[in-house]
Amino acid sequence: MMETLRDPRKTFGEALVAAAEKNPAIVALSADSSSGSGLTPFQKRFPERHIEFGIMEQGIIGFAAGLATTGKIPFVAAIAPFVTARPFEMFRNDLGYMRQNVKVVGRSAGLTYSDLGATHQSLDDIAIIRTIPGVTVINPGDPVDIVKAVQAAAEHVGPVYIKIGSPPMPVLMDDAYPFRIGKGVIMQDGNDVTLIGTGTVLSKAAAAAKLLKTKGINARLINLHTIKPLDTELILTAARETGKIVTVEEGYVTGGMGSCVAEFLSAEHPVPIRMIGVNDRFVEPGPYEEVLALCGLQGAQIAETVERFLECKHPLQY
């Protein structure tokens, strides 16, 4: 079967228009970033609800918080590092501490801007934003997830961070599946090992699971679209039933999704965990797929890592 690819930013923009048709409180804030975030249709459909700030990535978060105090539901969309790392204190204080109903969408996230270098890559966004109490962190794994995440974020009362990429994404999920914030999804059952994927590289984890199956390894594949709150029930069951866990994400392993899983399991049910992601480095520029390969994030590489991991017998070898 041919895989269907969809543009994540266009998908996001269309989903926001749909949400805004239903809820007049939704407004879109642009830091000279609307067109690049797929929000041109929103701007055309709701010009009076589209607010431009120019390249003002600290101020825009404060304005969003202020708008939210009056009952608006602001969606702020821009290149991920510029709405997470740059205005981190505004995110923490004005959205988190003030508990304001603002949705921040970091797009072209992860290694998407592989050729533009480290300034434009967002590998730490999950790690830093998840430290903020009360902020929901969603990392949609495919275009279906993006649509459902936007809808769920619009309905959820409280600050939300949604991370999306830019390259076309394969459709992996069924349109009809029930998306719930904080609830991961088992995409494939298996008891030899659990593969937890999130965001833009969920498709790579899925490819790895498929490859492993041809080698007789039955991996349980989980789409962990919400990183905070963490689906502890699903993860605990997976740890108990499969005994080993591999996490796959397009971001730093330091503090990322794999860390969340490890933080939880180390207290509740310690099992060997292998975290695949970007290690402690600024990633050299290059074509996206090649850069993913440099970080060991291609399907075949993930499968190989899993195989090696399963061969280890002694804890020190993990």
Partner 1 sequence: MELINAAEKKELERVAVRIRRNVLRMLKPGRSGHIGGALSCVDILTALYFKVMRVDPQNPGWRERDRFVLSAGHKCLALYGTLAERGFFDHRILDTYGDHCTKLGGHPDMHKIPGIETNTGALGHGLSIAGGMAMGLKMDGIGSRVYVIMGDGELAEGSNWEAAAAASHHRLDNLLVFVDRNGLQICGPTVAVMGYEPLDKRWEAFGWRVRVINGHDMDQILAHATNIPFERGKPSLVIANTIKSKGVSFAEGKVEYHYWKATEDGLAIAERDLQAAEERIG
Shorter beta-carbon distance to partner 1: residue 68 or 123: 68
CB 255 within 8 A of CB 229: no
Q: Which of 13, 71, 5, 78 is nearest to 44 (CA)?
A: 13
Q: Which residue among 46, 53, 113, 309 contacts partner 1 (CB under 8 A)?
A: 53
Q: Which residue among 26, 39, 61, 129 contacts partner 1 (CB under 8 A)?
A: 61
How many other β-carbons are positioned within 10 Å of the β-carbon of residue 245? 24
* DSSP states of 119-184: GG-BSSHHHHHTTSTT-EEE--SSHHHHHHHHHHHHHS-S-EEEE--SS-EE--S-TTS---TT--
Give CA separation, 301 vs 114, 147, 281, in Å: 19, 29, 19
Shorter beta-carbon distance to partner 1: residue 58 or 218: 58
Strand partners, 104: 76, 161
Shorter beta-carbon distance to partner 1: residue 24 or 41: 24
Shorter beta-carbon distance to partner 1: residue 66 or 168: 66
Output the smallest distance, CB 50 to partner 1, in A.
11
Q: Tell me the site size for partner 1, rule CB under 8 A.
A: 29
How many other β-carbons are positioned within 10 Å of the β-carbon of residue 311? 8
Shorter beta-carbon distance to partner 1: residue 27 or 181: 27
Output the smallest distance, CB 62 to partner 1, in A.
2
**d(Cα 186, Cα 249) in Å, to the nearest integer?**
17
Q: Which residue among 7, 40, 66, 264 contacts partner 1 (CB under 8 A)?
A: 66
Shorter beta-carbon distance to partner 1: residue 60 or 187: 60
Please state at what angle helix 299-311 crosses helix 202-214, rounded to 10 degrees: 60
Output the smallest distance, CB 27 to partner 1, in A.
8
Q: Quick one: 101 exposed, middle or buried, by C-beta within 10 A (0-12, 13-18, 19+)?
A: buried
Q: Hey, which residues between 69 and 128 contact partner 1 (CB under 8 A)?
A: 69-72, 74, 89-90, 93-94, 97-99
Considering the rule CB under 8 A, would residue 207 count as an interface residue with partner 1?
no
Output the smallest distance, CB 21 to partner 1, in A.
18
Q: Counting runs of H as helices and runs of E as strands, what totals does the chain give?
A: 11, 14
Q: Hey, which residues between 19 and 48 contact partner 1 (CB under 8 A)?
A: 27, 48
Q: Which residue among 58, 151, 188, 232 contacts partner 1 (CB under 8 A)?
A: 58
Shorter beta-carbon distance to partner 1: residue 63 or 252: 63
Q: Which residue among 16, 28, 39, 51 contacts partner 1 (CB under 8 A)?
A: 51
Residues of this chain that bind partner 1 (CB under 8 A): 27, 48, 51, 53-54, 56, 58-72, 74, 89-90, 93-94, 97-99
